[in-house]
Amino acid sequence: MEVLRRSSVFAAEIMDVFDRSPTDKELVAQAKALGREFVHSRLLRAGLAWSAPERAAPPGGRLAEVCAVLLRLGDELELIRPSVYRNVARQLNLSLQSETVVTDAFLAVATHIFSAGITWGKVVSLYAVAAGLAVDCVRQAQPAIVHALVDCLGEFVRKALAPWLRRRGGWTDVLKCVVSTDPGLRSHWLVAALCSFGRFLKAAFFLLLPER
């Protein structure tokens, strides 16, 4: 009961910051909460189970809206380039026995993704890569590494994305990416950009970490 109470308080605090300008700490907390939901969604889709202690209850309020949009954009990105976000560890020639190897590889890919600037398309791709790696880790009986990946995602947001997010008022800015409420339509400005970026990321997989 105490865990549930603390989780509820944590979720309420995250949702509350959408009503004002978020701090870096709050942006990182939101990034990790969104990461846990994104990973959880992809693991469920793959028929896999994962225990996230902080995820006692699904997000609510504005955080739930942001999460839904990220997942929807992730679906579209993965539909356009399905091979890029599956078997990510194999594409990077990674051993999943070491947490450090996996998180270092993720950070290298993340750095390369944003080397030419930041866009919401690239942010969605970052989450899709993390989720792809998480699926690989759970399949290889390394669920503890998934927690490290979520923490690594939060740390990357703190170091590289927080100023950009602050200038846009936080994570709710992604809601502007969707101009249609019909889930059967892909009529937002990200589609073309995600298509071309999928080709870029696939090339990046084979250029990064060739020694691993």
| Whole-angstrom distance, CA of residue 179 vs CA of residue 159 | 30
| Whole-angstrom distance, CA of residue 163 vs CA of residue 158 | 8
pLDDT of residue 57: 58
Claim to verify: residue 126 and residue 199 sit in the same structural domain: no
pLDDT of residue 114: 94
Range of the domain at 102: 23-179
Q: Is the pLDDT of residue 200 over 70?
A: no
Instruction: Decide if 2 is inside a domain.
Output: no
pLDDT of residue 13: 53
pLDDT of residue 51: 72
Chain mean position to CA 209: 21
Contact (CB, 8 A) for 134 and 146? yes
Instruction: Decide if 13 is inside a domain.
Output: no
Claim to verify: residue 145 and residue 200 sit in the same structural domain: no
pLDDT of residue 9: 52
Q: Is the pLDDT of residue 208 over 50?
A: no
What CATH number is attached to the domain comprising 65?
1.10.437.10
Q: Which residues contact 34 (CB under 8 A, 6 or more apart)?
A: 59, 63, 66, 67, 70, 127, 171
Residue bearing the bigger pLDDT, 121 or 186: 121
Claim to verify: residue 132 and residue 158 sit in the same structural domain: yes
Claim to verify: residue 191 and residue 206 sit in the same structural domain: yes
Report pLDDT digits (tens) over 146-197: 999 999 999 999 999 999 999 999 999 998 877 544 444 344 444 444 444 4
